[in-house]
Structure 1
């Protein structure tokens, strides 16, 4: 079970990632000028993380996991997902954050973060 504190710890290890606020004031992490992780809440007050991917078939691929991925919006070149943090483990959260960081800030930015160790 992950929390926003886990997001902070992981994102803090990414080169050039900066903690800030989204346009309405919620906590967010930025890769350059683009947010790649953003805190949201559901109607019950549970923490959600918003992330991005370039995997355009994400909606159908996660159709069976709507209890975790409560919102998936597909745009022309990107997909954004809102996931319940309390339903993600550290490995899946790291995968989502790394993908989002690469998509929003460019993979050349990353280098060796140590987060890949969680993916093994």
Structure 2
């Protein structure tokens, strides 16, 4: 199983999914232990209108741990079989570990105030 996190250069969650520098993708084994980490380039432009959902799905990503994103992006990811957990902040490895331990829940708060169509 793989999980993805929108990431800034300092290996922290980027609070805006559609504008992150890259995605950190962790591969988990059957015991939910991280066995591999890779970086996936972020497409140019808005995340929900790019091909990133399909790209991540092709890699086997099943969960996106994100800071914030709009309903459009959530729908696009869901259509590719990727579950979204919003409200994540901090170091990507620490967030992944928190999700693995079952201590991470979706904030339920969407992104709607950025002046573009992704959140609508």
- TM-score, length of structure 2 as denominator length: 0.26
Q: Of Structure 1 and Structure 2, which has the larger fraction of its residues in strand?
A: 1
- TM-score, length of structure 1 as denominator length: 0.26
Q: Of Structure 1 and Structure 2, which has the larger fraction of its residues in helix?
A: 1
